[in-house]
Amino acid sequence: MDFGLDETQREIAELTAAVLAKETDPGQSWRALADAGLLALALPAELGGDGLGVAEVAMVLTEVGRAAGSVPALPALAALGLGVLPLNRLGSPEQRAALLPGVAAGETLLTAAVHEPSNPFTTRPGTTAVTDGGVWRLSGTKIAVPHADTAARILVPASLPTGTGIFLVDPAADGVACTATHTSGGGTEHSVRLDGVVATEAELLTDSRPGEAIAVLHRYALAAAVALGDGALAGALELTTRHVASREQFGRPLAAFQAVAQQIADVYITSRTLHLAALSAVWRLSAGLDPGQDLEVAAYWLAEEAPKALASCHHLHGGLGVDVTYPLHRYYGLVKDLGRFTGGAADRLAALGERVAG
């Protein structure tokens, strides 16, 4: 098992970092990534993509997280982790051709509704799909859906009479109501209510065996979240390290004080642990293996330990850390939102316990 990045992955990470460092307008950063071809990595060659996979997409997400102090990160989670990766795996050629090129061009977004009230990452959705005169009618409520109101399609898991399925729902369709909800980082997120929304078989993703589609969606969603979180924590660590190395008190840099050195070391340990767990989970996914415990460990670490590390970064910055003109609060907000997106530490710990227990 070699977690070292290959040449292609290193070049993708370096290019993403360079693009985000050059683009000073947050509103144009998404288009800049598209112009560099970084949103088309996972698309098949016939759609103008590079035919790469989750490991390469994770490189982009990690660098977006690292730059989250100056660029929006939730669009990347929505479009790549909740849209491109699962649709590329589960969608028909017609579905992929209709939706993926727009995302690669930076013109549209995709997203997914993986949470329901008090039931994150549910494998038995309360949202239902029933047949009615040759079509499906979807009803239910989803929460914490990134960019639901502006997405070209929302991937919506629903319970069918024979199991579960995932539908491509147009947020502008009759019966869909999107209500904006608050986030820690100020990103766009919605609750989505479905009331008899009509869907056809052409809008149902492929499920070759019972439960496969929803399991694939959940894996990609969690992998995208931990990759973003890995980058965000690393970015906050870099920012804090520079601060304590340059800020002086009593004629000495803050980093020279033992208490400060110990705290920044704890943040480093948390960051490296999350990085290793995220890298291991993504490696297993890219190899076609069940990410199993690795993905749950990474998600738990993101939800439980990463916010504590960001609190230490704030403490080491003093009053500067809460200045709205300083980027640290954006890292903190993103990490809090991602931890919540995973379902929270208790939920992820319970999922890990189930994995360990078999």
How large a percentage of the chain has pLDDT more than 90? 81
Mean pLDDT of 328-333: 94
Q: What would be the CATH architecture of the domain defined by 7-109?
A: Orthogonal Bundle (1.10)
**Residue 104 above 70 pLDDT?**
yes
CA 299 to chain centre: 11
Give the pLDDT score at 3.
Answer: 67
Q: Calculate the average pLDDT of the chain.
A: 93
Identify the band that residue 262 occupies on the pLDDT scale cut at 50, 70 and 90.
Answer: very high
Q: What is the pTM of this model?
A: 0.95
Backbone phi, psi, residue 248, to 5°: -110, 145
For domain 112-203, give the fold: Butyryl-CoA Dehydrogenase, subunit A; domain 2 (2.40.110)
Mean pLDDT of 170-189: 95
Q: Quick check: do 7-109 and 212-357 share a fold?
A: no
Tell me which residue of 269, 300, 298 sits closest to 283, measured CA to CA.
298
Identify the band that residue 163 occupies on the pLDDT scale cut at 50, 70 and 90.
Answer: very high
Domain boundaries, the chain: 7-109, 112-203, 212-357
Kindly report which listed range (105-109, 139-143, 178-182, 251-255) carries the lowest average pLDDT score.
251-255
For domain 212-357, give the fold: Butyryl-CoA Dehydrogenase, subunit A; domain 3 (1.20.140)
Give the pLDDT score at 2.
Answer: 62
How large a percentage of the chain has pLDDT more than 70? 99
Convert the pLDDT of each residue in 61-72 to its tens digit. 999 999 987 788
Give the pLDDT score at 232.
Answer: 97
Tell me which residue of 118, 201, 193 sits closest to 148, measured CA to CA.
193
Tell me which residue of 144, 298, 312 sits closest to 231, measured CA to CA.
298
Backbone phi, psi, residue 11, to 5°: -65, -40
DSSP class of 176: E
Name the more confident of 320 and 37.
Answer: 37
Residue 131 structure tokens: 């047949």
